Structure formats: C-alpha cells, structure tokens
Amino acid sequence: MRLLLIEADPPLESAIRHHVSCRWPDAEIRLWPPITHGPIPPEFLAQGYEAVLLTERWPGGEGMEWLRDLANRPGFAPVIFLAGECDSRTVEAANGWGACAVAGTRKIDHRALVEAIETAASRQRRAMANWRVSSQAIDSRRFGEAVIPGYRRARLLARGSVSQLYIAESEKAGALVALKVTPSHRDESGIDQSFERFLQEYEIAERIQHPNIVRLHELGIADDHAYLAMEYFPLGDLRRRMKAGLSVLEALDFAGQLARVLHAIHRAGIVHRDLKPGNVMLRSEGQLALIDFGLAKQLALAVDLTDTGLIFGTPHYMSPEQGHGQTLDARSDIYSLGVLLYEMLTGQKPYTADNPMTVLYMHRNAPMPQLPAEQCVLQPLLLRLLAKLPEERFADAADAAEAIDAARLQWLDQSATA
C-alpha cells in the first residue's frame, strides 16, 4: 500500500500512520506538507499511489479548495477527504467535488478509514490497469524517439542540441522528475559517450550524498537513448531567483551554501567546471541544489568524456585558466563562485562583451570589478574569490565558506551601526 498524505499537523499525521500500519505494516506513506511545499504541481497525477489522503484545513489553506483541483484532474488518484467532523454537509460537499470517500479525524474510526483506503486502492488499481494499455498511456511514455516505461511525459522543459529535458511523472518515485534524454553515441572504441556522461553524473551524486546536490532517481537505456531521471525543481534556477532581486544577506547565504557543496565535491576529487546560475536550482526558498555534472572532471580521470566544443563551459563564469585551456583544479570553481557572488550582489556579470573571446580575455586581463560603495565591506572577499592567479585565491572551498560567513557578520555589524 502506497499513500500520499497532504497534511500539516504532526499529531494527526502520526495518528493516520498508526491506523494505516495496523492494517498494512509495510505501507509507505509519503507526506506532502502544504505549508512548506505549496500547491501540488499541475502536471502531477499521483499515479504511483493507491490513494491520496487530503485533510480539511491547515493554517492558510483549505483542503476543500485543493479537492476541487485534484479530484478533477483527469487520471488523478482517488482522493480521500479527511474532515474534522463528518457531518452531512461536509460529506455532501466533498463528494460533490469528487472525493472517493470522506473520513473523520476528530475521532478516527479505524474501520471506516481502512475501508475508505481499500475502496480507493481498488478503484485506482483498476483505473491504472485500464490506463496502461490505452493509446494515451502509450503516447505519454514517448520522449522524442524513445519510449521509456514507468514514466509519464508531462511536458518538454528544454531542448538542447543533443539532449532534451522533460518534466515527467515517475510511478516508482511517486513524484515529478526532470528526465534528461539523449541519443546513444558510440565512439571508435565502442564506448557509449552519452551513457558514460550520465553515468558520471549519477555516480558523483550517489557517492557524495550532500544536501546541496541534486537527487538522482534512475539511469537507464531505452530505444538506443540514454536517460537520467533526477529531482525536479518547481521554483526554477538561481537566475530566475536573481531576476526577482536578492538582498546582500541572501546572496551571502547562497554563496556560503555553494562554497560548502563545492568543498564536498572537491574532497571527492572532482572539479565541477560549469558553475553558473542555470546549474544552481532552488529546492525551497532558502536552499540550493547543484546540478549538471556533465562537464565535471575527476582529477585522476584519464579519459575526458567531454565532447569537443563543450569543454569550455560558459565564458561569463569561467576562470582565466579554464578560458585558456590550462590545467584546472578546485580553485577554478572558486573563481566561478566569485563571479556568481558578484552577480548576486549587483545584478550584473563582472565582465561582458559581444564576443565570447573578449569575455575570456577580460577574465584574465581586465581590472577587478568593484562593488557599489555601500557594499565595499565585501570587496576584500570578492578580491580573493576573483583573483586572476589561482594561488592568490582561497586555498580551498572550505576557506572560502569561512570567509563568506565572516563577511556576513561584517555586513550585519555595519548594518547595525549604520
């Protein structure tokens, strides 16, 4: 038994888990706390669950409004409405909006709750059995030229020169995922470069297991295509967040998170090589997650898996040594972090030009960018991060994180005395 519980009250959550486990000891109950997670994304149909349990209300939210949305999405899992009191008016309203059943929570009737779940689960299993053989289901498993079982295509998120990125619903994960799909391509030695690159990303994320690294769900091959299912971020990337404007404290907090996750990957012997706003995602309003290790390079790796033309990364965020094809180490990522911090603080990139080669030249030769006068207390931090020579930067990302924390305290002190 697999259930999705939309609830914000921990005691009620515990009570529901107790009643469910008494009947199904191995049941899996996944929690969706509406206050912190927000609304269910419109693409999500909860097809990996036998039922969805939705409570009546929570601070700032009404379950009946959610019921109107969820129960009327074609193909959505059966919804059991959990009302405080099962009076006739509430039951009639919930049933009218498509609830599969209604159960009370002020005093939970164990038998009634179990029967409601069994009824919903039976309905869902029949519906999914019929849906899986339908033409709609067969079409929904098609991602470009590949048919990938276990995933329902929601929409195309981005199309690159080689890969496509989709939002898809994974029955196994019970969640929306970002699904990256690319044709398999074997080189002269017979190595499938697409799969090897995805495998590198998967192994890095699995090996490091850091809270600021994207969660990866599955790696596979289908119809001569490699695919990688990863965590989906409805809030988008750091660039979108920067467009909304960041305070100095928010910018320093984000930079500190990035420094700490860089330290983790550097300790594992890996240089990311493509740190930029589009590769930094928002897991929640205050937590970042680093993605896309396709250009990452293990320092001891003998074979470069990066295709010709992609090795350069993104010119606006590259260190001087990276832009000139020199040997890289962890301090190259520290430089890219400095570029990001400058952009978060000012809303501008430190060096801009119409020609990418000019940007690369400026990273090595142009004067150091200056922060606005009101942010001058942070200039020494920026000078160390953006030093032209690697040996003049912070020795490692842990030192950079400490310096960012110290700069945050300086900013707070300055603000308090202003």
Residues with a catalytic annotation lie at: 274
Identify whether the C-beta of residue 35 lies closer than 8 Å to the C-beta of residue 24. no
Angstrom distances, CA of residue 268 to CA of 207, 240, 261, 397: 8, 30, 11, 13
- Torsional class of 348: left (φ above 0), alpha (ψ -120 to 50), beta (otherwise): beta
CA quadruple 271, 276, 281, 285: dihedral, nearest 10: 120
Q: How far apart are CA 327 and CA 124, in angstroms?
A: 56
Q: How far apart are CA 406 and CA 152, in angstroms?
A: 47
Q: How far apart are CA 223 and CA 239, in angstroms?
A: 34
According to DSSP, residue 395 is labeled S
Helix (H, G, I), strand (E, B) or coil at 60: coil
Place of tokens 């809303």: 347
According to DSSP, residue 78 is labeled P
Q: How far apart are CA 221 and CA 7, in angstroms?
A: 37
Angstrom distances, CA of residue 300 to CA of 17, 303, 390: 48, 9, 19
Token pair of 235, please?
A: 């809030």
Q: How far apart are CA 342 and CA 356, in angstroms?
A: 19
